[in-house]
Amino acid sequence: MTRGSGPFLLGQFSLIAQGEGNEMAEIHEGGCLCGTVRYQVEGNPDPTLTGVCHCKLCQRRTGSAFGISVYFAESDIKITSGALKTYEYRSDESQRWVKTKFCPTCGTTVMWTAEAAPGVSGIAGGTFDDPNWFPLRVHTWTRSAQHWVAYPPGVEIQEKDDTM
C-alpha cells in the first residue's frame, strides 16, 4: 500500500487498507534496529497465541527476561524491505523446531515460525513502530520466569505452553 491509496495515520504508525468486501483492515508497520528490514502486518493478531513468553529461548533471543510474541497468519505479514537470516533452534523439552528470523546487519530478531504452530508467524512485539496497539492477555512459560517478575492484574498465567 502506498500513502496515496488510502488514509495514512502518521501519529499511530498505522495504515488503513480497504478489503475486498469494503471492510477496513488495519496495517501496522515495524522493523529492525538499523532500519534495513521493514515489514507490514494486516489485521489483528491471533489472541490465543499473542502474549508474553518467559521461556529460555525467548530470554536468550531477546537478551531480556521475556519476549513479546504477536502472532499473525503468515499471509498477513509482508517484508517490505531488506532480507532476514534464519536460525533454527530445537526445544530441549519437545524437540520441536523454532526458526528465528533476524536482520543480518544489526541482529534484531524480527519474527519466527514454530513447528508447533503451522501457518502463523510470531512478530517480536518491540519491533513494531507503535508497540502499544496489541493486547497482551497471557504470560506463558512462567515456570522459567525471572524470580522478580510481577504479573499485571487480570492476565492469564500459564506455567507451560502446550501449544508450543
Q: Is the pLDDT of residue 138 over 80?
A: yes
Q: Is residue 159 part of a domain?
A: no
Contact 141, 161 (CB under 8 A): yes
**Strand pairing class (138-140; 156-157):** parallel
By residue range, what is the domain housing residue 88? Answer: 3-146
Q: What's the CA dihedral at 75, 29, 27, 54 to 10 degrees?
A: 70
- Cα 68-85-160 angle, rounded to 5 deg: 30
Q: Is residue 72 part of a domain?
A: yes
Q: Is the pLDDT of residue 20 over 60?
A: no
Q: Is residue 153 part of a domain?
A: no
Instruction: Please state, rounded to an integer, the average pLDDT across all residues of the chain.
Output: 84
Q: Is residue 93 part of a domain?
A: yes
Q: Is residue 62 part of a domain?
A: yes
- pLDDT-based confidence at 37, cuts 50/70/90? very high
pLDDT at 164: 61
C-alpha 61/C-alpha 103 separation (Å) is 13
Q: Is 14 exposed, middle or buried (0-12, 13-18, 19+ CB in 10 A)?
A: middle
Kindly report the CATH number assigned to the domain that includes residue 90.
2.170.150.70
pLDDT at 23: 55
pLDDT at 1: 34
- Cα 57-105-85 angle, rounded to 5 deg: 55
Q: Is residue 76 part of a domain?
A: yes
Q: Total structural domains in the chain?
A: 1
Q: Is residue 52 part of a domain?
A: yes
pLDDT greater at residue 162 or residue 114: 114
Q: Is residue 140 part of a domain?
A: yes
pLDDT at 48: 84
Each residue of 56-101: pLDDT tens digit? 989 999 999 999 999 999 999 999 999 999 999 988 777 889 999 9
